[in-house]
Amino acid sequence: MKILHTSDWHLGCRLYGRTRYRESAAFLDWLATRIEHNAIDALLVAGDVFHTATPSNRAQELYYRFLYRVANSTCNDVIVIGGNHDSPTFLNAPQKLLQALNVHVVGAMTDLPEKECIPLHDNDNNVTAIVCAVPYLRDRDIRTVTPGESTEEKSRHLVNGICNHYKKICALAVSMQQEYGEIPLIAMGHLFTSGGTTIAGDGCRELYVGSLGQVGAAEFPDSIDYLALGHLHVPQQVGSTPHFWYSGSPLPMGFGEAKQQKMVVEVKFCRKKPKVDQIPVPCFQELEQVAGELEEILDRLGQLQKQQSSCWLEIEYTGRESIGNLREQIEEAVAGSSMEIRRIRNRTAVARALQPLAPDETLDDLDVDEVFNRCLESYGVAEEEREPLQHAHQEILRTLQEEDSNAE
């Protein structure tokens, strides 16, 4: 049996205002072709299918066209779980209809554990594996808030809630295994594990402070033969556990991921033993970060011009000299090429103050954490008082992101 593990498609995402539908369509076409050519038996999508809770019509079209194509391929089952960016009710709405295509969707934690235990089948309809399809577990689903809790207590209760849920679902799957014989138990999840690698600006690291909500590899049930995770955009093994993997996002979500090789994970089972292979995903749009003094930036742009590059650019000026026409000089340097400037960051101007003292500084130059920290600085908040405020700020951001705008 062969499964393909992917996650974090973020259909409908933008990069500094630029839509990315062409890249997403190219990836889904490549993924479907891979499934067809390599006779994949099951596809696991470990959350964050969409970038927002209310995806555009075009993002939805990409999703449903892909599912229809895969349902008519060698793939017998597709399992999709909700991520923190997804709306559970939106994902679940076509649940019954998609089941006719053997597409199983679990948008949020269910009221019955058996709804999260999904058998995989072969062409003769024999059960070949059990999947514990655990979606992103929202704070309110797995713990009761106690007034006056410390950050450490919140983290402990959150991790305990996640672990208890996995124990319950996996225990049910083990009982199902006994009925079907020696078949693999595969678990899915969308969460942050201890020691996981993130990249600045990927939208994951900013939601966690310290070890809040991070689950250790040893805390998952021993019965799991393969763990297919989503949420972290860097493809990686979980700790030293060779059968626990993040597939990572197929597209770089920001320029910090520009040089990162994106992957999907192909898993071949011989009885219950998995053989894991990382499959490189092609680059569908080149991204380039250029940083330095103005002369260094212009030299690099000249090299890219000669290479006839069509990359998208993030440019960061790090020089000390104030340059009033920075944007004009950079735009002139790429004029007539296929390159697009997506962002110009003037570190010298940004470092001065929150107020836009430089004419080319905008809110695009700052992320939410930078704005919050500058507010703390502006109001003269003492250094020792900042950490609890930063914790509260991160918790508010997570709560806002977990709201399901499609729910009644």
40-57 confidence digits (pLDDT tens)? 999 999 999 999 999 999
Tell me whether residue 191 is exposed, middle or buried, using C-beta atoms within 10 angstroms of its C-beta: 0 to 12, 13 to 18, 19 or more: buried
First and final C-alpha spacing in the chain? 41
Q: What is the DSSP letter of 240?
A: T
Tell me whether residue 250 is exposed, middle or buried, using C-beta atoms within 10 angstroms of its C-beta: 0 to 12, 13 to 18, 19 or more: buried
DSSP 3-state percent helix, strand, coil across the chain (nearest 5): 35, 25, 40
For residue 231 the two structure tokens come to: 């949420």
State pLDDT tens for residues 230-244: 999 999 999 899 999
Find the range with the poorest average confidence among 107-111, 281-285, 359-363: 359-363
pLDDT at 210: 45
- Domains in the chain, please, with CATH? 2-280 (3.60.21.10), 288-402 (3.30.160.720)
Percent of the chain with pLDDT over 90: 66
Residue 271: count other Cβ atoms within 10 Å of its Cβ: 11
Find the range with the poorest average confidence among 131-140, 274-283, 366-375: 366-375
Residue 265 has pLDDT above 50, yes or no: yes
pTM: 0.84
pLDDT at 337: 95
State pLDDT tens for residues 54-96: 999 999 999 999 999 999 999 999 999 999 999 999 999 999 9
Triad 374, 376, 381: Cα angle to 5°: 145
Closest-CA residue to 251 (of 284, 229, 228): 284
Residue 355 has pLDDT above 80, yes or no: no
Q: Is residue 10 classed as helix, strand or coil in its secondary structure? A: coil
